[in-house]
Amino acid sequence: MKLILHYLKRYKKLLILNIISVFGFALVELGLPTIIANMIDNGVTNQNVEYLYSMWFLAIVISIIGVAGTIVLGYCCAKISTSITRDMRNDIFSHIQTFSPHEFNHFGISSLITRTNNDAFQIQLFVNVILRTALLTPVMVIISVFMTMRTSLELSLIIAATLPVIVVGVIVVAKISEPMSQKQQLSLDRLNRITRENLSGLKVIRAFNNDAYEQARFNQTNDEFTGYTRKIFKLMLLTQPIFYFLMNLVTLVIFYVASHMIDAGTLQVGKLIAFQEYLFHAMFSMMLFCNVFVMYPRAAVSAKRIMSVLSTQSDIKDHVLQTPQSSTFQHHLSFRNVTFAYPDGEEAVLKNISFEAHEGETIAFIGSTGSGKSTLINLIPRFYDISSGEILIDGIDIQDYRIDDLRNKIGFIPQKAMLFTGTIAENLRYGKADATLEELEHAAKVSQSYDFIMEKPKGFDEMITESATNVSGGQRQRLSIARALIRKPEIYIFDDSFSALDYKTDAILRHALKEETQHSIVFIVAQRISTIKDADQIIVLDEGQIVGHGKHKELLQTCPIYHEIALSQLSEEELNYE
């Protein structure tokens, strides 16, 4: 409720209109029976035509107010409930943008998608119901009960006796449905995760002939989800007929007592008709109100899931409002005794890493898989914060930079080239929104993408499909390099970004890059010796520690691990020649 109230506050004017229209609606629903009762008891019985006409006119006016009230009520409910869900989705989405990989791992991507879409939708349904009924029904119940008491105190006692039964019923239903809703949303998370994995891993599934296994996995989770949903539906469907049955029972008792009262002359027929109408409204409103309580646990579960996303603060925070001015003229980056352990891991993945990188230099990292290369370069844009030590850029600790300023300095080319759905030009402009066509062409030429872009029927306006399936792995890498080049960053980070390129393209590209990056610092993570052998500094990592640091020729002599890697890729002659 706290979450819903927080968003409802933004639509105060519409809420006031909503409340006014609720009263308009109540006026009609409860005013008409009184008018009809008066028409029967005073107009028809006494054959007073003038009285009948005036009541008839009043009934029309009230009906028109009712129609207007109903339309306005519907409009307000729809507008408020859809608007607050839109706001909620926007807030969740922008809050997720601040998350570090640690928070993403904590929630899981599929669950974050479910929370943004499905949970927010549950809240929308609930808000719609409360705006329609939570305000209206108490008003209707109170007024109808008052009117029934005014019409006949004896008959209203029968209603009073059934109220506790209804209240207990509502509490029981709410208690049963809350854990069910929790399980339902969790199984929806699982269903989304399996669907996502299936669709993105389609080729692997087919190659391993595991369609049947995946189908079974999906069916099982789907059945589980359907099971929980069915249980909730059953519970809701069961409550309605029971309630109607109760209402009919009460009506029968009332008619039985009323017939005796009419016989005895203590009740008029018109009053009985009005009483019956009030009773219907009181009971029906009660039922609608119960619906709010039945829906509440489900919405509460969704609200909790959304709140837990919104209240999670990223590990990576801005520590300053403004980035201090650097006093150095040349770009410079240094690691000083950096040690790092992943938030969920106990052991340090990087230990005592120190090195200096200067403007115009290329620093390459090599080492066996899992030695910590990607982890190391992920620390520079602060995807993770270090456990101890310091990372300085231009003499300032990266923690003292505003995160935006820090990341604006960096052109990051990830291990898995990621392109977005849109044209090639749009993808390249992701690096710099206002890049001119000349800038796009230049970056494409340097990254060796220009020729294949020009071969596409629409050139830079060619659409990249979802998951970039219409470009090859190597082309994807080159486009993601072009995207970084457009930014002209101070620091380039290539995380194994040349692996999908053939040796010739790799060599030409690195040569073209040399010119382009002469005023930047370039970090390259690579598996191939040929990619890094010209680097100004090569850092060899093993189990998170630096075990070799120098140039290619030096390392061949001084670092056995480097020598071993080189030997596995180059022949003895090539090594000697190098």
| Least gap, CB of 541 to ligand ATP (angstroms) | 7
> Rounded to 5, what percent of the chain is helix, strand, coil?
65, 10, 20
CA–CA separation, 186 and 110 (whole Å): 11
**What is 347-396 written as a DSSP string?**
S-SEEEEEEEEETT-EEEEEESTTSSHHHHHHTTTTSS--SEEEEEETTE
User: Nearer Cβ to ligand ATP, position 70 or 545?
Assistant: 545
Q: In angstroms, give the least distance from the CB of 394 to ligand ATP.
A: 25
Is 164 or 345 the residue whose CB approaches ligand ATP more closely? 345
162 or 387: CB nearest ligand ATP: 387
Q: Shortest distance, CB of residue 29 to ligand ATP, whole angstroms? A: 60
Q: Within 13 Å and on the Cβ side, how many CA atoms surround 562?
A: 27
Name the residue nearer to ligand ATP (CB basis): 101 or 201.
Answer: 101
* Contacting residues for 111 by C-beta, under 8 A, at least 6 apart: 189, 192, 193, 305
- Least distance to ligand ATP from the beta carbon of 172, Å? 45
How far apart are CB 372 and ligand ATP at their closest, in Å?
A: 4
Q: How many CA atoms lie within 13 A of 500 on its CB side?
A: 18
Burial call 438-471: b when 16+ CB within 10 Å, e when fewer: ebbbbbbebbbbbebbeeeeebbebebeeebeeb
Per CB under 6 A, contacts with ligand ATP among 368-427 are 369-375
Helix axes 211-264, 153-200, angle to 10 degrees: 170
Q: Which is nearer to ligand ATP, 342 or 452 (CB)?
A: 342
Residues sharing a CB contact under 8 Å with residue 5, sequence separation 6 or more, in sequence order: none
**All residues at 6 or more sequence positions from 303 whose CB lies less than 8 Å from its CB, including other chains:** 1, 2, 3, 4, 119, 123
Q: Write down the least CB distance from residue 347 to ligand ATP, Å.
A: 9
Task: Between 33 and 372, name the residue whose CB sits nearer to ligand ATP.
Answer: 372
CB of 101 to ligand ATP, least distance (A): 6
Give me the least distance between CB of 496 and ligand ATP, in Å please: 6
Catalogue the long-range contacts made by 348-355 (C-beta closer than 8 Å, 24 or more residues apart).
348/387, 348/544, 349/375, 349/544, 350/375, 350/376, 350/379, 350/544, 350/545, 351/544, 351/545, 352/389, 352/545, 352/546, 353/389, 353/545, 353/546, 354/389, 354/546, 355/537, 355/539, 355/546, 355/549
Of 38 and 374, nearer to ligand ATP (C-beta) is 374
Query: In this chain, which of 241, 345, 457, 515 binds ligand ATP, going by CB under 6 A?
Result: 345
For the beta carbon of residue 129, count every other beta carbon within 10 angstroms: 20
25/523 with CB nearer ligand ATP: 523
Q: Tell me whether residue 132 or residue 373 sits nearer to ligand ATP (CB atom).
A: 373
Cβ neighbours of 117 (radius 10 Å) = 14
Of 24 and 548, nearer to ligand ATP (C-beta) is 548
Binding mask 315-344 for ligand ATP (x = CB under 6 A): ---------------------------x-x
Which of residues 22 and 348 has its CB atom nearest to ligand ATP in the complex? 348
Closest distance of CB 102 from ligand ATP, Å? 8
Please give the order of strands across the beta sheet that includes 388-393: 350-358, 332-340, 388-393, 396-397
Nearer to ligand ATP, 370 or 473 (CB): 370
The minimum distance between CB 351 and ligand ATP, in angstroms, equals 12
Size of the site for ligand ATP (CB under 6 A): 13
Phi and psi at residue 330, to the nearest 5°: -105, 145
Interface mask toward ligand ATP for 88-127; x: CB under 6 A? -------------x--------------------------
**Other beta carbons less than 10 A from residue 333's beta carbon:** 23
The DSSP result for 90-120, as a single string, is HHHHHHHTT--HHHHHHH-HHHHHHIIIIIH
- How far, in Å, are 44, 59, 215, 329 from residue 50 at the CA level? 11, 14, 75, 97
- Classified as helix, coil or strand, 207 is helix
Q: To the nearest whole angstrom, how small is the minimum distance from the Cβ of residue 545 to ligand ATP?
A: 12
| Cβ-proximal residues to 160 (8 Å cutoff; 6+ apart), any chain | none
* 348-377 positions binding ligand ATP, by CB under 6 A: 349, 367, 369-375
Residue 391 C-beta: closest distance to ligand ATP, Å: 16
The minimum distance between CB 346 and ligand ATP, in angstroms, equals 10
Of residues 345 and 457, the one with the C-beta less far from ligand ATP: 345
Binding site for ligand ATP (CB under 6 A): 101, 342, 344-345, 349, 367, 369-375
